[in-house]
Amino acid sequence: MAISRPFLLAVLGALLLGVTVLAVQNARTTSDNDATPAVIQTQAAPAPADSSATSTPADTLRAAFDLSDVHRARFQANLYLADKTTARISLAGAFDTTGDSAMPRFRVRAEFRAAGAKAAGGFVSLGDRAYFVKGDTGWRMPALLWGPMVQNVSKIGFHPQTWARDVKSKGTERIAGVETEHLVARVDAKAVLNDLASSAGGSVNERAIRRNVKRAELDVWVAKDDHRMRQFELQLLGSRKRGLRLEARLLDVNEPQRIVAPAHVRSGAPAGAFGGLAQLFANGVAGATGADTSSLKALTSPNPGRAARAIRKHQKVVILFGNARGLDDRAMIPVIRSVDRRTKALVLTDDIAAVDRYGTLPEDLAVSQTPSVVIVDRRGHARLIEGYVDSNTLTQAVADAR
C-alpha cells in the first residue's frame, strides 16, 4: 500500500507543529519562571563536570535534553516513512530566544517528496507575529489562533527524556566537529506517539501501537563539553519493513541566527499543497490549544476577494459578520439566505474574525459586534446595520441602496 499524499501532509503538519510547540514552550517557561530560556524544559539537573565518573548513561540522557543554556541554534531534521514506497520529509530552520520579546523568534522550512507528490513551505515567528511562508511571500497567521498557542502551550506534553528504557553507552564519536558520547536505548513507543499526538491535539490508540510497532530504538549523541544533546535518531519499526525514522541535529549552538519577516505579506492563506499544509497546521494549533476554529475560516475565506471584485464592478454587496455561537447570529442565517434569493446583490457571510481582511470599509463603519450587516451600494457607499433584523426589513434596506 503506497503512502497517501494527505497522510504525508498530516505528518508534515504535525512536525511543523512540534517544532513550534518546542520553541513556544521554551518562551512560555522562561516568562513564567523568569529563568534562562530552554528549548526543551525538563526536570533533570545539568550533568556534573565529570559525568562519566558520577553519572549513569540514563542520567546523561536525561540531562542531554535540558537545553536551558542553548539560546540560539540551527536545526535540521529528516523523517523517513517506508511502506513499499519511501517518503522523505525534511525540516531546516533556526531559533533565537534572546531579546526582550516574551516569545522566541524562529523559522522552519519543510518539504516532502513521495510517489510523485511534493509540497514545500515554511513558518516564521517574530514573537507576537507569525507567518506561513513560501519563498519571500508570507501569509500572517490570525492572532486568534497564534495568541492561544502562546497562552496554552505549557499544557501540551512533549517529553523526549521520558521515552527511553535500558540506556547504554556505545563510546565517543565526533558530530559536526563536536566530541560526543553515543547513547542507545530501547524506546516506549506509546510514550513517543502520545507526546506527538498530544502536540497535535489528538490521542493514540494503544491497540494500534501494539499491532503496528514491533520495535522502537533511540540513539542520542551528547556533547562531552556541555552535556547537551547534539543529535538524535528515533526509529519505530513495524512488520514487512514498514516504519518511521526521525533524525535531528543541532548546529551552530549559541551563534547568531537571522530570523526576519517575509518580504511580501499577503492576505488570506497560501493555495495548493502548501495551503493544505497550512490548514492542517492551523487545525493542529486549534486542537492543541482549544483556540476558536472560526479564526481558521477567517484565514482561508475567499469572501474578501469576492467582495472587492464586486465593488469594483459597481455591484451591490451585502456582508453578514457573525459569530457561530451567538443566538442572534444563528437567527440571521435564514434571513441572509432570504435576502440572497430576493435581491440581485452579492450576499456573503463571514466570521467576525475576518473583518480585518475587508480593508478600510468595515473599519470606517466601526464593525465590532455581531451580528452586523454591511450593505455596499453601486457607488461604493456603505451602511452598517447592527443586531438582529428580519428579512423584509433587510431586503428593503438593500433595495433602497442605490
* Cα distance between residue 58 and residue 387, in whole Å: 63
Q: Are strands 372-376 and 317-322 parallel, antiparallel or unpaired?
A: antiparallel
> Do residues 282 and 145 lie in contact, with contact meaning Cβ atoms separated by under 8 Å?
yes
Cβ(389)–Cβ(335) under 8 Å? yes
Bridge partners of residue 233, in order along the sequence: 219, 247
Tell the residue number behind the cell numbers 508570507, with chain if given. 138
DSSP category for residue 235:
E
Residue ranges of domains in the chain: 5-294, 301-400
Report, at the CATH architecture level, how domain 5-294 is classified: Clam (2.50)
Q: Is the CATH number of domain 301-400 3.40.30.10? A: yes
Q: Using CA atoms, how far apart are residues 9 and 15, in angstroms rounded to an integer? A: 10
**CA 247-197-134 angle, 5° bins:** 60
| Type of residue found at 260 | V
pTM: predicted TM-score of the whole model, two decimal places? 0.61
Strand (E) or helix (H) holding 364: helix 360-364
Per-residue tens of pLDDT for the chain, all 402 residues: 333 334 344 444 445 544 444 444 444 444 444 433 333 233 333 444 444 455 788 888 888 877 777 888 888 888 877 654 567 778 888 888 776 655 678 888 888 776 677 778 888 988 778 888 988 998 887 766 676 666 655 555 556 677 778 889 999 999 888 899 999 988 877 777 666 655 555 555 556 555 666 777 888 999 898 888 888 888 877 766 667 778 888 888 888 999 999 999 876 677 777 777 777 677 666 665 666 666 666 766 788 889 999 999 999 999 999 988 899 999 999 999 999 999 999 999 998 878 877 877 777 888 889 999 999 999 999 999 999 999 999 999 999 998
